[in-house]
Amino acid sequence: MKRQANVRIKTLKIDGIDVGAREGETILELARENGIHIPTLCHLDGVSDWGGCRLCLIEIKGSNRLVPACMAQAEEGMEVFTKTPRLVTYRKMILDLLLSERNHVCAVCVSNGHCDLQSMAQELGNTHVGLPYLNPSLPVDATHPYFIMDHNRCILCQRCVRVCREIEGAQTKGAMGRGIEVRIIHDLNEPWGQSLTCTSCGKCVQVCPTGALLQRGKAVGEMVKRRDFLPYLQMMRED
Amino acid sequence: MHERFDEITQKELADNRAAQHVVKVCVAAGCLSSQSAEVKTALEQGVNGRSCKVKGVGCLGLCSEGPLVAIEKHLPDGSSQNIMYQNVTPEDAPAIMESLDKEPVARLLCPTDVPFFQRQQKIVLENSGEIDPERIEEYIAADGYRALITAVTEMAPFEVIEQITRSGLRGRGGGGYPTGLKWVTVAKAPGPDKFVICNADEGDPGAFMDRAVLESDPHRVLEGMAIAAYATGANEGYIYVRGEYPLAIARLKTAIRQAQRMGLLGSNIAGTTFSFNINIRLGAGAFVCGEETALIASIEGRRGQPRPRPPYPAEYGLWGKPTLINNVETFANVPTIIRKGGDWYASIGTAKSKGTKVFALAGSIVNTGLIEVPMGTSLRDIVYEIGGGLPNGGVCKAVQTGGPSGGCIPASYFDTPVDYESLKELGSIMGSGGMIVMDESASMVDVARFFMEFCMTESCGKCVPCRVGTVHMYNILSKIYQGEGTPRDVELLEKLCDMVSVTSLCGLGQSAPNPVVSTLRYFRHEYDELIAGANGSQTAVAPTTEVAS
Amino acid sequence: MSEKVKLATVWLDGCSGCHMSFLDMDERLLELAEKADLVYSPLVDPKTFPEMVDVVLIEGAVSSEEDYEKIKKVRAHSKVLVSLGDCAVTANVPGMRNPFKVQDVYNRAYIENADYNQHIPVQVIPPLRKTSVPVHNVVKVDVFVPGCPPSADLIFYVLSELVDGRIPNVSGMTRFGA
């Protein structure tokens, strides 16, 4: 009887498929292992989870609350659903909110064709935005010698903030303001080029899902990001 | 310890009886803002050798008529007589002092035989307006800290929790989660380090219950926290109080210092092995920091943003340790429950909501102020009896409860007893206890818009539905209110309400649509009329063109 | 033989790239012509919009008062309205002026960037509306075809479906900015 308390493997169901999870594994990790795709924009392998984009919301049998798959831990006997009609509807609406929030003009964006937001719209079948555009007036910070931050394309996923803090350890990037006024800032809201803490490592640029962070000199569609270094870095550090 | 308390109590009583008159001036924020400090000084100057003691006390309740002055006259037979003055100015002081041995000053008299005073039942506010909040001796003389001493010297932690569980006390911050259950969870959580946090980040528009408690009777909260710490095994406490409450902060600091000096906080409380310290942390004005995980982040020095739960703070809270978070009013109930027993407390209120609740009455109502009534009192009694109805005999249209997370309850439901379940059924919530009374002139669309604007500007911006959804909802409400709405806008508004409430990360976003949902539920016609007006202007044009062609 | 489907195309605030892509259907235009008549378009002669058109492709965002009047009228005389291309679907490049004030846009275009004859026209050029918006913000749209521009293949697929009386599903076949 005592042995049962030490069972570390949990068995559960995702979309009707039986799966086995390690202790502490999230539903998102588990789903990916088993070839079940759950959309997300703020999750990034190699850094901590944020739970802000709400695209990976899932339903768990017996609970009427939706939880983000990236932060929900697998429990014994759970029955998880990732593609119920209402989840699909909410995801499309959330994406509409993101597309209406700032000025995402794919046709003239450096990341056209290599953008997570753009492909998410395609994946979820958002052929148009059902909400009026908010058309905010936002600056572009081009003070850094190598990189540019275009707030018009930012979706506030905070991947850059997390990679800067957790992997590079510079803590240059942060967020300020409330609600719709939240902005990604450098140090104490200084121009990026004047940041004393930025190491110009460029990790933030590579992890940015959209064209908000880019390398100087890139034209439309030229900004291709590399993400493979992150899990690798993390793995090497663990060893 | 009890002997020492007896001594203090005897001395306090003797001091009190020594003066023939005790003049109690409200020095809580409401009355202070209308010059009660000056009134107190003027009264003190007018003592002039009379057998009279002037002291500052906490909130007397009827804030709209402040400054309030209560006078306790000791009669030779040992009984006492009480009168109250309202709207007192410093210039009135000489007249009041002159009249002490004669007839009261009629023009200033505040009738106390009215429902506002008679219908209340005070537990949390029992010392408000009675004791000087800046003197621990007065709190002790009013049976203060006895519950703590009893708990730590005579009761095991689980016995304390049992009393709280039996009392049926539920979280007064808004959620209504059973307090006993929360305490058990923290008590059972493993690990040597645990924390107790008092949430004093009261931010709902129109709510001022917690401020009054902190300003009027700060020791009650400290005692409640200490008892909670003993019961759950914590030895460090934090009070997270908003920076906008300078007086509450000052009085808390004084109270903590006094309690430490008396050995009621600190190491080895009452000679036992139980140690407990309380620190104050100031909020910087963010509403979202009232959400427990955001509050913890703020105490830890990080940006005040919530995180998904579970894990709940009871398991993984401040600095990753098991943490008990309760609201000011919840803690303020604890000493009385321990002193009088859980069963006593459970005898008050309704089947599922026990005890009393403090409400802040505001808006279009005669008696603006603070009241404490048993759970289950009807809204009609609160508004028309205790609240004295609307000014100039106005007709009440609705009461907004629960602040930006709550809803509007129309007058037709005023006979509903106020408790957690019934308010929820009506599409509102108990919330922290703010009640805003609205008369016939209030536009419910505008009310919804006001609260949506509040949520929009107070969203932390972490999750998409709350950050962007509230902006779209606000824009649609503005459009409708300005007479430019279409039926499609209402449709979209309803969809957004559902989506934002279901998909948002924390309580702020999840409840942000409530004011819209409840006004749509009860006052749909107001939306429709504004939209019909908008379309009406367009259809009015059509016939003219037809005639012209 | 049943009557041919009436097809129209409308050019609002766009670069005409979507119309170019339409023409890029090349010989497949003949295939379509067997089933549909192009009754109104910048590419054909008629100057008045017919009483009722079966399928109407809209290129461009609604930016000026003229666009606004035109799309309202077109909608009233169309059965199936198709937003063709990013400008019609998202306001795209025309919408990039939206964060700015209309007056600033005029100044930029007609004063600051003009070498000769610097003045803001008051005749002939229709006045701009406050913002450039997607077509579906003004009238009901039945089919959305994003893309900048949508490829000739995609337009052919969409039209083939529509002339056969089916509503095409383009999700997965194109994207914003494609």
CATH of the domain at B74: 3.40.30.10
CATH-assigned architecture of domain A9-83: Roll (3.10)
Q: What's the pLDDT at B341?
A: 96
Chain A: nearest CA to C32, how far in angstroms?
A: 25
Virtual torsion, Cα A187, A192, A193, A195, nearest 10 deg = 10
Number of domains in chain B: 4
Q: For residue C58, which residues of chain A lie inside 8 Å, CB to CB? A: none
**Distance (Å, whole) CA B280 – CA B253:** 8
Tell how many helices (H) and how many strands (E) occur in chain B.
24, 13
Residue B90: is the preceding peptide bond cis (ω within 30°)? no
Cβ atoms of B422 and B383 closer than 8 Å: no
H or E element: which one contains B195?
A: strand B195-200
Q: Does one domain contain both B185 and B255?
A: yes
**SS3 of residue B359 by DSSP:** strand
Q: How many H helices and E strands in chain A? A: 6, 10
Of the residues B438, B463, B484, the one at which a domain ends:
B438
B376: tokens are 């289950």
Shortest distance between the Cα of C148 and any Cα of chain A, in A, equals 6
Q: Show me where the domains of chain A are located.
A: 9-83, 107-238
Q: Which of C99, C136, C171 sits opposite A136 (nearest CB)?
A: C99
Instruction: Give the containing element (helix H, strand E) for A68.
Output: strand A66-68
- What number is the average pLDDT over the span A51-70? 95
DSSP E strands, chain C: 5-11, 36-40, 53-59, 62-64, 78-84, 128-133, 143-145
| Per-residue pLDDT at C140 | 96
Nearest-Cα residue of chain C relative to residue A123: C172
Mean pLDDT value of segment C65-85: 97
- Alpha carbon B428 to chain centroid distance? 17
The count of CB pairs under 8 A between chains A and C is 74
Cβ of C99 within 8 Å of Cβ of A128? The answer is no
Helices B470-481 and B524-548 cross at an angle (nearest 10°) of: 60
Query: Can you give the CATH number for the domain in which B490 is found?
Result: 1.20.1440.230
- State whether B472 and A94 contact (CB < 8 Å): no
Q: Judge: A179–B461 Cβ closer than 8 Å, yes or no.
A: yes
Determine contact, residues B332/B224, Cβ cutoff 8 Å: yes
Q: Do A68 and B308 touch (CB under 8 A)?
A: yes
CATH architecture of A107-238: 2-Layer Sandwich (3.30)
Locus of tokens 């439309």: A220
Helix (H, G, I), strand (E, B) or coil at A111: coil
Tell me the three state secondary structure of residue A20: strand
pLDDT band of C67, cuts 50, 70, 90: very high
Weakly modelled stretches of chain B, pLDDT under 70: 535-549
Write down the residue that tokens 């905070």 correspond to: A158
Is B286 in Cβ contact with A97 (below 8 Å)? Answer: no
Residues B176 and B93 in one domain: no
| Cα-based distances in Å from B156 to B220, B221, B233, C53 | 21, 21, 11, 84
Chain A interface, best mutation among B462, B466, B504, by max A CB count within 10 A: B462
Q: Say if residue B308 is in the same domain as residue B204.
A: yes
Residue B318 CA to residue B297 CA, distance in Å, equals 8
Verify that B338 and B191 share a domain, yes or no.
yes
What's the first-to-final CA gap in chain A, in angstroms?
A: 36
Query: Top-level CATH class of C5-94+129-163?
Result: alpha beta
d(CA A45, CA B542): 60
Instruction: Looking at the structure, tell me whether residues B153 and B261 fall in a common domain.
Output: yes
Q: Is B285 on the interface with A (CB under 8 A)?
A: no
- Categorize the per-residue pLDDT at A4 as very low, low, confident or very high, splitting at 50, 70 and 90: low
C131 vs A121, A135, A138: nearest CB: A135
How many CA atoms within 13 Å lie on the side-chain side of B92?
21
DSSP B204-224: STT--HHHHHHHH-HHHHHHH
Residues A179, B460: C-beta atoms closer than 8 Å: yes
Burial label for C99, CB within 10 Å (0-12, 13-18, 19+), is middle
pLDDT for res B204: 87
**DSSP structure string for B120-170:** ---STTTTTTTS-TT-HHHHHHTTTTHHHHHHHHH--HHHHHHHHHHHT-B
Instruction: Kindly state whether residues B296 and B182 are assigned to the same domain.
Output: yes
**Angle between helices A85-101 and A116-124 in degrees, nearest 10:** 140
| Final residue belonging to a domain, choices B320, B346, B372 | B346
Please report the residues numbered 96 through 155 in chain A whose beta carbons come closer than 8 angstroms to any beta carbon of chain C.
103-109, 112-113, 118-119, 121-122, 125-129, 132-133, 135-138
The helix or strand, by DSSP H or E, that contains position B38, with its residue range, turns out to be helix B36-45
Domains of chain C: which residue ranges? 5-94+129-163
Residue with tokens 């309205």: C81
Among residues of chain A, what percentage have pLDDT more than 90?
Answer: 88
Neighbours of chain B (3+ CB pairs under 8 A): A
CB atoms within 10 A of CB B40: 25
Asked if residue B451 and residue B414 are part of one domain, the reply reads no
Q: What is the pLDDT of residue B541?
A: 31
Q: ipTM of this predicted complex? A: 0.95
| Widest distance between CA atoms in chain B | 99
Are B468 and A180 spatial neighbours (Cβ–Cβ below 8 Å)?
A: yes
Give the per-residue pLDDT at B537. Answer: 43
| CATH at residue B340 | 3.40.50.11540
Distance CA A158, CA A184 (A): 8
CB atoms within 10 A of CB B2: 12
Asked if C13 contacts C60 with a C-beta cutoff of 8 angstroms, the reply is: yes
B411 and B376 co-located in one domain: yes
| pLDDT attached to residue C171 | 85
pLDDT at A6: 58
For residue B86, tell me if it sits in a domain.
yes
Neighbours of C101 (CB within 10 A): 11
Specify the pLDDT at position B334.
Answer: 97
Q: Which residues contact A195 (CB under 8 A, 6 or more apart)?
A: A144, A172, A186, A187
Residue B467's pLDDT is 98
Residue A226 makes CB contacts below 8 A (sequence gap 6+) with A206
Type of residue found at C160: S
Q: Would the CB atoms of C93 and A118 count as touching at under 8 Å?
A: no
Nearest to C93 among A107, A121, A127 (CB): A107
Q: Which two tokens stand for residue C66?
A: 């003229």
Cβ atoms within 10 A of the Cβ of B162, count? 17
- Residue C97 makes CB contacts below 8 A (sequence gap 6+) with C105, C132
- B453 occurs within a structural domain: yes
Nearest CA in chain B to A134: B472
Contact (CB<8Å) C93/A108 = yes
Residue B18 CA, chain-centre distance (Å), reads 35
What is the reported pLDDT for B549?
29
Contacts 24+ apart (CB under 8 A), B371-374: B371/B61, B371/B116, B371/B120, B372/B120, B372/B121, B372/B122, B372/B123, B372/B124, B372/B125, B373/B119, B373/B120, B373/B121, B373/B418, B374/B121, B374/B348, B374/B349
Residue B535's pLDDT is 58
Cβ within 8 Å, pair C92-A138: no
DSSP-assigned beta bridge partners for residue B74: B80
Give every CB contact of residue C73 below 8 A, 6+ residues apart in sequence: C49
Q: Torsions phi, psi of B357, nearest 5?
A: -140, 140
Q: Are residues B203 and B324 in the same domain?
A: yes
Q: B323, B346, B369: which is the final residue of a domain? A: B346
Cα–Cα dist B530/C55, whole Å: 36
Q: Which member of A67, A89, A134 has the closest CB to residue B308?
A: A67
Considering the domain architecture, whether residues B334 and B361 belong to the same structural domain is answered as no
What pLDDT score was predicted for residue B540? 32
- For residue B83, the enclosing domain spans 2-113
Q: Is B139 contained in some domain? A: no
Q: Tell me if residue B52 falls in helix, strand or coil.
A: strand
| Alpha-carbon distances of B307 from B88, B196, B284, rounded to whole Å | 49, 19, 19
What is the DSSP track for C37-84? Answer: EEEE-TTSS--S--S-EEEEEEESBEEEHHHHHHHHHHHHTEEEEEEE
Cross-chain residue pair A132–B475, CB shorter than 8 Å: yes
Write down the pLDDT at residue B536. 45
User: pLDDT for B55-83, tens place per residue?
Assistant: 999 999 999 998 999 999 988 888 888 99
CA distances from B180 to A14, B344, B362, B420 (A): 35, 15, 31, 17
Whether residues B45 and B191 share a domain: the answer is no
* Chain A: residues touching B (Cβ < 8 Å): 50-54, 57, 66-68, 71-72, 89-90, 93-94, 97-98, 100-101, 130-132, 134, 155-156, 174-175, 177-182
Question: What are the structure tokens assigned to B545, written together?
Answer: 């063109």
Those residues with Cβ within 8 angstroms of residue C162's Cβ, 6 or more apart along the chain or in another chain? C5, C54, C55, C80, C82, C143, C168
Interface mutation vs chain B, best among A93, A102, A120, A188, most B CBs within 10 Å: A93
Beta bridge partners of B21: B52, B73
Model pTM score = 0.93
pLDDT of residue A3 exceeding 80, the answer is no
Measured CA distances, B17 to B20, B76, B137 (Å):
7, 10, 15
Angle between helices B218-232 and B157-167 (to 10 degrees): 120
Paired tokens of B95: 């007249």
Q: Residue C177 is nearest to which of A103, A112, A127, comparing CB atoms?
A: A112
How far apart CA C151 and CA C172 sit, in angstroms, is 13
B340 in a domain, yes or no? yes
